[in-house]
Homo-oligomer: A and B are copies of this chain.
Amino acid sequence: MKANRPLLLLLLAASLTAQERRPRARDIGITVGSFPPGPLNAITDVPGVRVGQTTIFGGDSINTGITAILPHGGNPFREKVPAAIVVGNGFGKLAGSTQVNELGELESPIVLTCTLCVPRAADAVLTWLLALPGNEDVRSANPVVGETNDGFLNNIRARPITEADVLSAIRSASEGPVAEGAVGAGRGTVAFGWKGGIGTSSRKLPTQFGGWTVGLARTGSSMSNGSGDYVIAFSTVRPRPPSTNLDRLTDTVVIVRNDIMSGLFQATIDATEEAIYNSLLRAETVRGYRGVVRALPVDSTMMILRRHGAIPR
Enumerate chain A interface residues (CB-CB to B < 8 A): 87, 89-99, 101-105, 115-116, 118-123, 126, 130, 138-143, 149, 151, 156-157, 159, 208-210, 223-226, 228, 230, 242, 247-262, 265-266, 269, 307-310
Q: CB < 8 Å: which of B223, B251, B261, B262 contacts A257?
A: B251
Looking at chain A's contact residues, the main secondary structure is mixed
Q: Please give me the residue from chain B that is nearest to A227 by CB atom.
A: B262
Q: A140-B226, A252-B254 are in contact. Are A119 and B115 (CB under 8 A)?
A: no
Q: Which residues of B contact A252 (CB under 8 A)?
A: 252-255
Give, as a whole number of angstroms, the nearest-CB distance from A166 to chain B: 11
- A91 to B262 CA separation, bound complex (whole angstroms): 12
**Is there contact, CB below 8 Å, between A224 and B119?**
no
Q: Please give me the residue from chain B that is nearest to A309 by CB atom.
A: B308
Q: A252-B252, A257-B251, A309-B307 are in contact. Are A140 and B116 (CB under 8 A)?
A: yes
Q: A91-B102, A102-B91 are in contact. Are A140 and B151 (CB under 8 A)?
A: yes
**Is there contact, CB below 8 Å, between B99 and A228?**
yes
- A210 to B308 CA separation, bound complex (whole angstroms): 35
Q: Which residues of B contact A116 (CB under 8 A)?
A: 126, 130, 139-141
Q: How many copies does the complex hold?
A: 4
**Is there contact, CB below 8 Å, between A248 and B257?**
yes
Q: CB < 8 Å: which of B119, B262, B269 contacts A226?
A: B262
* Contacts A/B (CB < 8 Å), 18 sampled: A87-B102, A90-B101, A90-B103, A91-B103, A92-B98, A92-B99, A94-B98, A95-B119, A95-B122, A99-B228, A139-B149, A139-B157, A209-B249, A224-B262, A250-B254, A253-B254, A253-B255, A308-B309
Q: Which residues of B contact A242 (CB under 8 A)?
A: 257
Give, as a whole number of angstroms, the nearest-CB distance from A236 to chain B: 15
Q: Add 20 more A-B contacts to A92-B98, A210-B250, A308-B308 (CB < 8 A).
A: A90-B98, A91-B102, A93-B99, A95-B122, A98-B230, A115-B140, A119-B121, A119-B122, A123-B123, A126-B159, A140-B149, A224-B262, A224-B265, A225-B258, A225-B265, A249-B257, A251-B254, A251-B257, A253-B253, A308-B310
